[in-house]
Amino acid sequence: MTSTDQQAFLSVRDLKVHFSTEDGIVKAVDGLSFDLEKGKTLGIVGESGSGKSVTNLTILGLHDRHRTAIDGEILLDGKELTTARESELEKLRGNKMAMIFQDALASLSPYHTIGKQIGETYRKHTGASKSEARKRAIEMLRRVGIPQPDMRVDDYPHQFSGGMRQRAMIAMALVCDPELLIADEPTTALDVTVQAQIMDLLKDLQQEFGTAIVFITHDLGVIADIADDVLVMYGGRCVERGTKEEVLRTPQHPYTVGLLSSMPSLDGPVDVPLSPIPGSPPSLLNPPSGCRFHPRCTFAEKVPGGLCSTERPLLKVEAGRGSACHLTLDQRQEFFADLAATRH
């Protein structure tokens, strides 16, 4: 997340993604900017409906073009993606950029074997023959740690366990050695020991190929493990960004603080109730005015003049670090110190 003059590998500038639906316009992403270098991992944290998945579908051009209004820039290696033609995107997708989805079972075709699905991408982009693609699929399955890959390659998705399906998805995403990998909650459905394996696998593969990874998750623990930089999203906007250390050690936004203090840990006190964030995430059809977090924010009343409900706080970023909140830094230090002490 450096703001150097030279172009970052992936650069998103003031991205706005609006869907028109029968009920009105859904502002799924509302002014988002970030940079990502090769070999680095950007963790995007947010709840369902925070716009994190939409952002990444837009990068890949997988959004519904007829119903989506996109504003802003997405530059991948200097190439503008928002205005790129579908045929150009097709050449990039699966080849230069790839995605791992959350629900592996829903993302795999139940009618085709795992091997065929992995090989298909490879054949399309390299023009390899069927037998070459099969060989490649077996190799990929072995690389992602599927036992007996030469037998499992002919299995159908329903014959795989959850962890294995996710591995197969990763194999499929990496089959053409992409430079950008977007992982949308890739470990959410997995067991912790398998999650640890998958994250190690992603880290190893990243080290080997220098892949840039956008890692979307709701789990701050996963972020602590894998990310270099973190972007916290709420209601379609970035509320806080910084390095992983900055965001987790000294969070600056009440939402980040709330997330951290609502999570139980393996060492914290057990006899006190958790401190949840009250309310539920906002509807993007009719988002709250001003700061989108203000209806759930316990500090909103501390800001004079009801500023939180009338004016959108700007994201002030300095050297990659910033947050969007009306509280002064001194106020935040004071308020958040207590919360840090009661952290579970």
Partner 1 sequence: MSNTNPLLDVTGLTKHFPVKGGFPIRRTVGAVQAVDGLDFQVNEGEALGLVGESGCGKSTTGRLITRLLEPTGGKISYRGQDITHAGRKELAPVRSEIQMIFQDPYASLNPRQTVGKIISGPMEINDINPEGGREKRVRELLEIVGLNPEHYNRFPHEFSGGQRQRIGVARALALEPKLIVADEPVSALDVSIQAQVVNLLQKVQQELGIAFVFIAHDLAVVRHFSQRVAVMYLGKIVEIADRDDLYGNPRHPYTKALLSAVPEATVDETPARERIRLQGDVPSPLNPPSGCRFRTRCWKATEKCATEAPPLVQVEGNKPGHLTACHYPETEGTIPAPRLSKDPQAAA
CB 108 within 8 A of CB 157: yes
Q: Which is nearer to partner 1, 11 or 55 (CB)?
A: 55
Q: Determine the Cα–Cα distance for residues 99 and 77; give it in Å rounded to an integer.
A: 17
Residues 145-184, one symbol each (x = binds partner 1 by CB under 8 A, - = not), give x-x-------------xxxx--------------------
Q: Determine the Cα–Cα distance for residues 25 and 71; give it in Å rounded to an integer.
A: 14
Q: Which is nearer to partner 1, 62 or 224 (CB)?
A: 224
Least CB distance to partner 1 at residue 21 (A): 16
Least CB distance to partner 1 at residue 328 (A): 25
Instruction: Examine residue 306 and tell whether it contacts partner 1 (CB under 8 A).
Output: no
Q: Which is nearer to partner 1, 132 or 246 (CB)?
A: 246
297: buried, middle or exposed (CB in 10 Å: 19+, 13-18, 0-12)? buried
Instruction: Examine residue 199 and tell whether it contacts partner 1 (CB under 8 A).
Output: yes
DSSP state of 157: G
Please tell me the count of residues contacting partner 1 according to CB under 8 A. 49
Q: Determine the Cα–Cα distance for residues 225 and 332; give it in Å rounded to an integer.
A: 26
* 145 φψ region: left (φ > 0), alpha (ψ -120 to 50), beta (else): left
Q: Which is nearer to partner 1, 191 or 301 (CB)?
A: 191
Instruction: Examine residue 257 and tell whether it contacts partner 1 (CB under 8 A).
Output: no
Instruction: Examine residue 223 and tell whether it contacts partner 1 (CB under 8 A).
Output: yes
Which of 55, 166, 197, 323 binds partner 1 (CB under 8 A)? It is 197
Which of 7, 109, 265, 333 binds partner 1 (CB under 8 A)? It is 265
Stretch that binds partner 1, among 31-39, 99-107, 117-125, 257-265 (CB under 8 A): 257-265
Residues 14-53, one symbol each (x = binds partner 1 by CB under 8 A, - = not), give ---------------------------------xx-----
Of 262, 255, 182, the C-alpha closest to 221 is 262
Instruction: Examine residue 103 and tell whether it contacts partner 1 (CB under 8 A).
Output: no
Of 68, 82, 64, 77, the C-alpha closest to 14 is 82
Instruction: Examine residue 68 and tell whether it contacts partner 1 (CB under 8 A).
Output: no
Q: Which residue has the tokens 């989805």?
A: 101
Instruction: Examine residue 195 and tell whether it contacts partner 1 (CB under 8 A).
Output: yes
Q: Which is nearer to partner 1, 56 or 197 (CB)?
A: 197
Q: Determine the Cα–Cα distance for residues 257 and 340; give it in Å rounded to an integer.
A: 8
Of 45, 87, 28, the C-alpha closest to 214 is 45
Q: Which is nearer to partner 1, 9 or 293 (CB)?
A: 293
CB 153 within 8 A of CB 160: no
Q: Give every CB contact of residue 298 below 8 A, 6+ residues apart in sequence.
A: 254, 258, 278
Q: Give every CB contact of residue 11 below 8 A, 6+ residues apart in sequence.
A: 34, 35, 36, 73, 74, 75
Which of 37, 179, 225, 240 binds partner 1 (CB under 8 A)? It is 225
Give residues in contact with partner 1 (CB under 8 A). 47-48, 145, 147, 161-164, 191-197, 199-200, 203, 218-225, 244-245, 248-249, 258-260, 262-267, 270, 273-278, 280-281, 344
